[in-house]
Amino acid sequence: MTTLADARVIDLPRIERPEGSITPVEGAATVPFGIERVYYLYDVVGGASRGGHAHHELEQLIVAAMGSFSVILDDGNNRQRYDLTRAYHGLYVPAMVWRELVDFTSGAVCIVLASRPYEESDYIRDHAEFVTEKHRRAAG
């Protein structure tokens, strides 16, 4: 059963040159899962929050590639806020952890590396249902 202890900020490689920086992410060498999908959030409206769900199986690495935002993780017992402000920090979010993305700066871009294709059936979008499922798994 995953808890907040399984989440962590991973330091991604940084290649810094006077003319700019590169952060390469090469699968298993950098991320604790096989990358099956990449998507990005942009044009986020001021004050909007994203996420507000958990996944049965999906693992993700969340990166503030441009600007910054915060991610609030919740494992059904505890909550923790991560401020992502650097393009070389990736927040690893295991399966069965509730997440909310808040406080996007103007023009922020969030890149998400994901372990599985998009599957609506993998989402838990109701927080009470999430907590019930956590307790069911913990008991079983």
Residues marked as catalytic? 53
Residue 50 binding ligand TYD, by CB under 6 A: yes
- List, in order, residues 6 or more apart from 127 with CB less than 8 Å away: 98
Distance CA 140, CA 121 (A): 21
Q: Of 19 and 43, which CB lies nearer to ligand TYD in the complex structure?
A: 43
Q: Of 41 and 73, which CB lies nearer to ligand TYD in the complex structure?
A: 41
- Residue 38 CB, shortest distance to ligand TYD, in Å, is 9
Q: What is the DSSP letter of 118?
A: -
Residue 41 binding ligand TYD, by CB under 6 A: yes
Residue 40 binding ligand TYD, by CB under 6 A: no
* Among 118, 20, 34, 17, residue whose Cα is nearest residue 66: 20
Q: Of 87 and 112, which CB lies nearer to ligand TYD in the complex structure?
A: 112
* Among 99, 108, 91, residue whose Cα is nearest residue 46: 108
Residues that bind ligand TYD (CB under 6 A): 39, 41, 50-51, 118
